[in-house]
Structure 1
Amino acid sequence: MADSDNTTALPFVTQGGRRKSCAVDDDGAVGDSVHPVRLRAPLDPCVVLLQEWEQAHHMAVVLCRLQQRLEIRIRNALASSLARGESENDQHSTPQASVLIDRQARWDELDREVGYSRARAAEAQAVEAEDDILDAVATTPAQSLAGVIAKLKIIVGGGENMGDTSAFPWPQIQSVLADLKALGEGGLDLETNGLRPSVSNSTTVTKSHPRRS
């Protein structure tokens, strides 16, 4: 019985064997049934851009929050160690320059321990990826209504990162996006399957990361 697992065909092997053993005539008939070949249309390149932008945006938000927590952690630890050091220095006068050097050395030590600079660098890379995709939107023609919707979602998401979206043209762009989505709900089943909910509107991420200057 120990060898029984070795005799069980894996699903993909079994399916592959069945495909090879089936006889298909010139009309696409298999046995007594006719199965028309349905090829899935490729995703609009702008839909692909939206998926890539959402991934980059999600990573930027997560890393932004991570580096903020790590910075607070370093500052709290530094304040605690400085308080102890200053009480000792009350008895021994220490030059101001030496104090600053000691603070920087302690910051660098804590940074290496918690990985603050690494998280901040990774966040900057994710933000750069977002910006690259925004640039690509301007040069990538949409091939469908789903692609137009995807481009507008990226534009609106990028605008949210830059601050206030209550002034022109953001409410107008959001209105156009809502109109296109409503018009496309009935006839874009195939391509809108590739339009995932925006990360910025999901329940797991509720706040955009601040755009760095």
Structure 2
Amino acid sequence: MADSDNSRTLPVVTRRRLLSASATWLAGQVGGVDVGLYFVYGRTNRGDPALMLWQEWWAAHQQVEKLCRRQQRLETALIDALGFPHVDIALPDQDYVVAAFSVEEIDRRFGDVPADAEAKMRAQAVLAERQAVWDTLDERLGYSRAKQAEDEAFALRAERLNELFAKQAHSVAGVAAKLHAVLAMGEDSPADEFPWPQIRAAMADLLNIRSGPSAV
């Protein structure tokens, strides 16, 4: 017989639908009472600090996704318009060119050979000019500002995640909140690798028992 008992598969439901359904359910539990879980586990969700922290983490997570999309959109617009600021350098005694994206790269490519000093200065001037054009368009589009906002959002999300997992859950919904955070953070992970199917199966179980013994 196959080892079907050693693994668990989810019902036919997409990963995003599971995340969405669990987030909707958890949002309904914040500050509320899950009557079914009260009869099954003898306690309510009211005041569970894990749920409160999950709510803050979920808001931070959604903000990260929003700002990531904006930052990527602006970066694409910059690259499509100008390409990354760089200068092509024809190396002495070589029949090909290399791209340098910083003054440090230019210095490294040319070294301190006196005969190459003029070529190095020209390369630095070209790079500076192209960087200035990039910076002007960047300022107009707001790419760097979006990138900074994204970095700050990532830091806040990490802080909220640490707070969530440092706090003991006082209800099944609180435990589900932690599982939901793990699934959301690992959304881009392969669907068929441990431990993602197992975690998704556990989350599906929690959703299935959310109404207590009467749940289908």
TM range (shorter): 0.5 to 0.7
- After superposition, give the CA deviation of every residue in 1:156-213 in whole Å (9 maximum; x if it has no partner): 112225x3343111111111111122112238xxxxxxxxxxxxxxxxxxxxxxxxxx
Q: Distance in 1 between matches of 2:173 and 2:53?
A: 12
Q: Distance in 2 between matches of 1:133 and 1:165?
A: 25
- Runs of 4 or more consecutive aligned structure 1 residues displaced over 6 Å after TM superposition: none
Q: Distance in 2 between matches of 1:134 and 1:157?
A: 11
Q: Distance in 2 between matches of 1:147 and 1:41?
A: 8
Kept in 2: contact 1:74–1:110 (CA 8 A): yes
Kept in 1: contact 2:45–2:173 (CA 8 A): no
Kept in 2: contact 1:159–1:165 (CA 8 A): no
- Matching of residue 167 in structure 1 with residue 171 in structure 2: no
Q: Which has the higher contact order (CA 8 A, sep 6+)?
A: 2
- Matching of residue 70 in structure 1 with residue 74 in structure 2: yes
Normalising to structure 2: TM-score of the pair? 0.56
- Matching of residue 44 in structure 1 with residue 71 in structure 2: no
Deviation at residue 43 of structure 1 after TM alignment: 3.4
Q: Which residue identity is paired with 1:173?
A: I
- After superposition, give the CA deviation of every residue in 1:85-127 in whole Å (9 maximum; x if it has no partner): xxxxxxxx99332211111111111111111111111111112
Q: Distance in 2 between matches of 1:104 and 1:186?
A: 62
Give 5+ residue unaligned stretches, structure 1.
1-39, 83-92, 188-213
- After superposition, give the CA deviation of every residue in 1:64-96 in whole Å (9 maximum; x if it has no partner): 1111111122223325xx9xxxxxxxxxx9933
Deviation at residue 133 of structure 1 after TM alignment: 2.2
Change (3 A) 1:157 1:74: same
- Look up the match of 1:58: 62
2:212 partner SS = coil
Change (3 A) 1:130 1:165: farther
Q: Distance in 1 between matches of 2:171 and 2:180?
A: 14
- Look up the match of 2:203: 177
2:128 to 96, 101, 108: 101
Q: Distance in 2 between matches of 1:63 and 1:136?
A: 22
Change (3 A) 1:52 1:167: same
State the identity %: 41
Q: Distance in 1 between matches of 2:202 and 2:80?
A: 47
Give 5+ residue unaligned stretches, structure 2.
1-43, 87-118
- Look up the match of 2:142: 115
Change (3 A) 1:145 1:51: same
CA RMSD of aligned residues (A): 2.5
